Amino acid sequence: MASDVDTADGETVILNCIDSDGSKLDGDHEEIVISTAEYRLIQQSSYFHGLLSGSFSESCFDSISIHWDVESLLSMLRFIFGCSMDITSENFLPLYEASLFFGVDKLLLVCRSWLEYVTSEVSIWPPQLCLEDLVHIWDYGRENAIDFIPQLTGYLARNFIWMASCDSFHNVPFELLLSCVKQPCLTVDSEKHLCDAILLWLGANTNPSDRLSSTGDTRLEILTEIRTSLLSLPFAAGMSSPLSCYFQSTDAQVLFRFLLIISVFVRILGKRRCPFFSKFAERSVVAICSLAASRSFILADILGGGDCNQLRIRLTEYTKILDLSGCPQINLPLLLLNMLPSSNNLDKLLMKKLNQLSLKLERHMDISRISWETFPVLTFEAVQVVDVSNCPMLHLEAAIEFFSKSFPSLTTLKAAYILTFRTMKLYQLLQRCPLLSDIDLTVDSTPVIPAKVSVISSFPAAMLQISTSPNDEICPDVPAFHFSRQLSNITKLILEGRTDIYDSDLQNIAQCCPSLCCINLNACTSITDSGISNLVLKCVELHSIFACDTSFGHNCVLSLCRNISRLDAVAMKMADNTNSLAYQLQILHIGGCKGINETSFLELISQTQRIRSLCLRETQLVDNCLYKFSGSSLEMLDVSDTKVSFHAVGHVVRGNPLLKCLIARGLRHLLQEENDILGNSPVLYYDLGKSCNLEEISLGWGFSFFSLESLRPAIKMLRTFIVGLGGSLGEDGLKLVVSDSVVRNILETLKNLQVLALCYCFDEISSLSFQSSAPRLRKLKLERVSTQMTNDDLLILSQNCMNLTELSLVGCKRLNSESQDTISNGWPGLISLHLEDCGEVTAQGVTSLMNCQALEDLLLRHNGLGIDRNFIIRAASRMPLLQKVAIDVCDAKDGDFDLPDFSDRNFLRIVKIARCNLKRRTLGSTKSGTCTTPVHAETLILTWDSRKLSKTVVKERL
C-alpha cells in the first residue's frame, strides 16, 4: 500500500510494521494504510479497537508503529478483511499467537478448529504435517497452559509409527514421548516397533556416562512401559531388526536414521555394556521362552491372579496392522484374551472359560462343546493386515473364527510357517474373511525335490494324529472348496512349500479366485504340469507366477502362450502374441523345472516382453532362447546352472538398463570364453558396469579380479555380493568392493551391503578383510575361503559385523569349542547358523550355541565328535522357532541320534541326518591303517507337514 497517501483528512491511519527482529519493511511494503471508516479492523480485533477508538494515547496519531512478525501480521489482517486463510502446521503457531495478542477471536477459533480437525480421527494423513512443528505447538501449549496438549499427545499416540519414522523424532521432548507411550490409544504395529522407537530415542539422547549405569538416567525407565512378554523372540534375543524398519525412506533419511540406530546398538545393545538394558533383554527372552514352553495357558499360574495388561497386545480402534510374527508365545487363548473387553481383572467366568480352552487344547480333547459365542470378542474395524507368521503354537484354523469376527475389514493375512494349517481349510478362510485379497501360507520347502535327489528308500508316511482330530473339533471339516455365487476377492496367494496341495486344489482355486494376479507354488511337489496349466488357463488376470521346483512344463507354456481372447483349442498364436498371458507377465520364476524343452523355451521367451523378474535357474536354457528375449524392463535375471554364455547374457543386459539383480552362478563353460575379453575383462562385465546399477550380483565360473574392476561403476549401491565355485577373487579383490575414491569411511562404503557370500572360490580370503566395521551386513557366508580363521579372528568378526542374522562358515579348520561362546555372545539373535568342517567346534558337545534361542535353521556337520544323542530333541526345546536341523552321524558322541516324535519336535519341520563311511586313505597298501577320511554315503530326511511325517533316504548330502 502506497506510503504517500494523503492522511490530512483524518480518515486514514498508517500502520508502520516493524518486524520482531527490529528490521523495518523495505520499499513499498513498509507502511500499511487503513481507512478509519472501515469498521472490520476495530470490530474483529480488541487490540485495534482499543488503539483506534480513543482508549489509548496513540488513537490521535496518523501513524502507529507495531512490533510483530510481519508475515503473520499480514496474514491476520488479510483474514480480517475477508481473504481466505490456509493454515498449516508451519504457520499455525505464529497465527495463533498473533490472534491471541491482537484479540482476533474469530481467527483464534479458526486456528483451534484447524488443530482439532487435523488431530481428530478423520484427519488428513500424518505425512502432510510436520512433526517438528507439532512439537513446537506442544511446547507452546505446555509453557502457556493452553488446553490443546491432550489433542496433540492423543494424535501422536495414534500415529506413533509415523512419528517414530520422522527424521526429527530424536528431538521429541522426553515428557511428550512418555506421555504418548502411556496413552491408552497408543497405536503400533507390534510391541517391537514401540521398543524400536524407544531405543532409537534413547540412543540419541542418553549421555555416554549414563549408559554405563542402571541408575544414571531415569529416562531409561521408559523401557518398563514395553510389554516384554509380547516382543518377538528374534528381536528380544538381540536381532538388530530396527534397521529394516526405515529402509523405505530416501537415501538421506536412511543414512541419518541409520547413524542414530547404530548409535543405539553400538552403545547400548551391541556391547551389552548397559546393565539396565542387559537385564531388560534377558527378562524379555526369559518371559517369551517361558510362555512358549508352557503347554497350558492358565492365567492364574502365569499372572499369579494379577493384572493381564502385560499380556495384552496393543489393539486399538485405530490399529491397521497387527504384527505378531516371530512370537512363539502366541497361542489361541492368549490371542483370544486380547480380543476381549479390557479390564484390569478378567471376569471370573471368562477366565474359567479361557483356562478350560487351554486345557482342552493341551490334552487334545473335544473342545467342540465350547460355544465360541460366549466369548464377547470386540470388533476392530480398522485392522486390515494381520501377520502371525512363525507363531508355531497358534491354532490358525480356530483363530480364523475370531479374525472374521474381530477384523471384518481384513484384507491381508500372513501366516507363513504354521504347519498345523491344512490347505484343505483354505475355503474356510475365504468364506470367513470375504474381503481377503492377499494370503501367505508359506512353509519351508521340502528338501526331497524329485528332480534334485536320488531316493534310496522311502518309509511309509506316519499320519499325525495331533494334526487332524483336535483341529477337526475346533473347526468341523468342510469340503476343500464349496462354491457359492459370491466369488473370492483373492488377488495374491502364496502356497510355497506346501506338499499337501494337489491338482484338484488348483482347479478349485481357479474357479473360486477369478481375480488372481499372483500365485506362488514354489516347491509344491504334489501338483503336475497339467494342474498348473489348467490354473493358468482360467486365471486370465495372472501377471506373476512363482513355480520353481515344480512340474511346470510344456503344457504350462502352451497355456501361457495361448491367445486369452479365444476359447477354442488353438495351442499357440504365433503371429500376434499381445493377447497371450505370457505377454502380460511381470514375474516368471520357473527355476528347477526340467520339463521345458528348447522349442517351448523359444516360444515362451519371445512373448515375455513386459517381464520384470525372470528366474530360469537349473533349466534347459540355451543361448538361442536368450537371444529371443526382446524385453526392456527386466530388473532381475537368474540363469544359474544353465548352458548360456557371456554373449547371450550380455545381449539381455544391454537391452535392460534397469537390471538390478543378476544371478549367474554355475555356468561352468564360461571359463572357456575368457579369450573374448575387453581390457582383460569379459564383455559381459563391461556391459554391466556401463549400463546397470546393481543391487545384487551372484557369480562364479569366469569371475575374476579384472571382472570386478569392470563392474565398479555398477556396484556402488550393491546390497548382495556372492562369488561362488569357479570364481577368483584376489587378496585385494574384496577391498575393491568396499573401497572407493569418493567414499571416505567404511560406513559409507558399506551403507548398502547387507549380504556377502564367498563360496568355494579359488582364492583364500584373509581375516584382515573383516577388520573394518560393517554394521549393515546381515548375512555372511565364508565357505572354503577362510581356512586360517581362528577363534580370535571370529571374535573380531563378531565385533565388526555385530548385526548378522545369518552366518555360514565352512572349512574353518582352526576353530574350536570356544568359538561357540563367541557366536552366542556376539550374535544372540541369529536366525540361521551353518558350521561345517570347522575344526573342533562340537568336540566338547553343543552348549553355548543353545543360547541362540531365535535360531530357525541350524546345520552342524563334521565339527568334532561330541554331539549328544538327544541333541535334536534338546535343541527343539531350547529354540522355540527352530524349523530345520542338519547334522552328521560322524559327530554323534554315541554313534547315533534319537529321532523326535511329534511332541518332542515342537516347531521342527525338517531334520536331515547325513551318514558317512570312513574310507582308509592308503596308496594300495593292504595293511590296516588308522588314517581315514569320511566319504558321504546317504542322508536320512524327516519332514513333517500338516498331516503326516515322511522319512526318506537319499544319496545326496542335503
Q: What is the mean pLDDT of the chain?
A: 78
List the single range of 182-186, 555-559, 915-919, 930-934 with lowest mean pLDDT: 930-934
Task: Report the C-alpha gap between 338 and 403 in whole angstroms.
Answer: 12
Task: Report the C-alpha gap between 893 and 209 in whole angstroms.
Answer: 48
Task: Report the C-alpha gap between 956 and 958 in whole angstroms.
Answer: 6
**Angle made by CA atoms 903, 906, 909, in degrees to the nearest 5:** 110
List the single range of 4-18, 165-179, 414-428 with lowest mean pLDDT: 4-18
Position 270 pLDDT exceeds 60: no
Position 574 pLDDT exceeds 50: no
List the single range of 35-44, 101-110, 863-872 with lowest mean pLDDT: 35-44
Which alpha helices (H) appear in 364-502, and where do they start and end? 396-406, 426-432, 469-474
Predicted confidence band at 197 (pLDDT cuts at 50, 70, 90)?
A: very high
pLDDT for residue 267: 39
pLDDT for residue 613: 97
The model's pLDDT over 360-369, given as tens digits with 9 standing for 90+, comes to 666 665 555 6
Position 273 pLDDT exceeds 50: no
Task: Report the C-alpha gap between 626 and 614 in whole angstroms.
Answer: 11
* 127 or 583, greater pLDDT: 583
pLDDT for residue 678: 42
Average pLDDT over residues 624-649: 91
pLDDT for residue 77: 84
* 77 or 729, greater pLDDT: 77
Grid cell of 303 as nine digits: 499372572
Position 511 pLDDT exceeds 80: yes
**Helices then strands (H, E): number in the chain?**
35, 28
Of all residues in the chain, the percent with pLDDT exceeding 90 is 36
Under the phi-then-psi rule, with left for phi > 0, alpha for psi from -120 to 50, and beta for the rest, what region is 732? alpha
- Write the single-letter amino acid at 607: Q
Predicted confidence band at 930 (pLDDT cuts at 50, 70, 90)?
A: low
pLDDT for residue 122: 65
Position 94 pLDDT exceeds 50: yes
Long-range contacts of 280-286 (CB under 8 A, 24+ apart): 280/223, 280/226, 280/228, 281/236, 281/237, 281/238, 283/228, 284/228, 284/229, 284/231, 284/236, 285/233, 285/236, 285/237, 285/853
* 793 or 685, greater pLDDT: 793
The model's pLDDT over 442-489, given as tens digits with 9 standing for 90+, comes to 999 888 888 888 888 887 666 554 333 333 434 444 444 444 546 789
Helix (H) or strand (E) holding 495: none
Position 37 pLDDT exceeds 60: no
Bridge partner residues of 614 (DSSP)? 588, 637
Output the pTM of the full model: 0.84
Report the relative pairing of strands 12-18 and 63-67 from DSSP bridges.
parallel
Average pLDDT over residues 233-250: 52
The model's pLDDT over 805-834, given as tens digits with 9 standing for 90+, comes to 999 999 999 999 999 999 998 998 899 999
Predicted confidence band at 402 (pLDDT cuts at 50, 70, 90)?
A: confident
* CB 909 within 8 Å of CB 944: yes
Which one-letter DSSP state was computed for residue 816? B
Average pLDDT over residues 302-306: 51
Average pLDDT over residues 613-635: 93
Position 868 pLDDT exceeds 60: yes
List the single range of 73-87, 562-576, 684-698 with lowest mean pLDDT: 562-576
